[in-house]
Chains A and B, each alone.
Chain A
Amino acid sequence: GEDVEQSLFLSVREGDSSVINCTYTDSSSTYLYWYKQEPGAGLQLLTYIFSNMDMKQDQRLTVLLNKKDKHLSLRIADTQTGDSAIYFCAESPGDTGRRALTFGSGTRLQVQP
């Protein structure tokens, strides 16, 4: 079935760039998303990318999509301690008949001062 996979943990130093990777299986997904979850909170939409795009940039965030390899990444430039959170990638249902986004298991980003 459809699956979205992420590495569980990433640690970086403040000021460095962070790259969070995600792989997905549904080639019919039209949109791919990145969400951020801070402790004790719900998921906050960070950005999304349409499947016919290779890259999308939004301030410190850069999303890269390799549709051939079904690989999605989120780069955070100049990572700050406030970026420490869990980051989820998600794919849209596409034409699979699924009813909701499929989420990865989340990557915990720890930013060290």
Chain B
Amino acid sequence: EADIYQTPRYLVIGTGKKITLECSQTMGHDKMYWYQQDPGMELHLIHYSYGVNSTEKGDLSSESTVSRIRTEHFPLTLESARPSHTSQYLCASSEYGETASTDTQYFGPGTRLTVL
């Protein structure tokens, strides 16, 4: 069982609100990821971090921002939420290195966001 947590699990908010989705892991993993999962099930990488103070945008453009001040914590922020941000957001982490266990990503339970 992977030790990676996301809060809240469900969030319903109004348009224009600022929100932060929390993600934390206790495995000491250097790499962390945020994915957006659309209703058609496909995963889209929106943010990525190699380690503390390292963040990069992913394959899918996103209006969200992330920060990595501590190894275990990788929060995602939306400054002004819109209905188009309604989705499932999944956080994941992996080790840093060259073996299979380092490519292996461990996922949190996800946050389902609904913006009205």
- Which residues from chain A sit less than 8 Å from chain B, CB to CB? 30-31, 33, 35, 40-45, 48, 50, 86, 88, 90, 92-93, 99-101, 103, 105-106, 108
What are 18 A-B residue pairs whose CB atoms fall within 8 Å in the complex? Answer: A31-B100, A31-B103, A33-B103, A40-B110, A42-B92, A43-B92, A43-B107, A48-B104, A86-B41, A92-B100, A99-B45, A99-B56, A99-B58, A100-B33, A100-B58, A100-B105, A101-B103, A106-B41
Task: Say whether B97 faces chain A, with CB atoms less than 8 Å apart.
Answer: no
- Which residues from chain B sit less than 8 Å from chain A, CB to CB? 2, 4, 6, 33, 40-43, 45, 48, 56, 58, 90, 92, 100, 103-110, 112
The 5 closest A-B pairs by CB, nearest first: A42-B107, A106-B41, A92-B103, A43-B107, A105-B42
Number of cross-chain contacts by CB at 8 Å: 59
Q: Please measure, in the bound complex, the distance between the C-alpha atom of A90 and the C-alpha atom of B41, giving whole angstroms.
A: 14
Q: Please measure, in the bound complex, the distance between the C-alpha atom of A99 and the C-alpha atom of B94, giving whole angstroms.
A: 11
Taking a contact as CB atoms under 8 Å apart, the answer to whether A88 and B103 are in contact is no
Contacts of B112 in A (CB 8 A): 40
CB distance from B76 to the nearest CB of A (A): 15
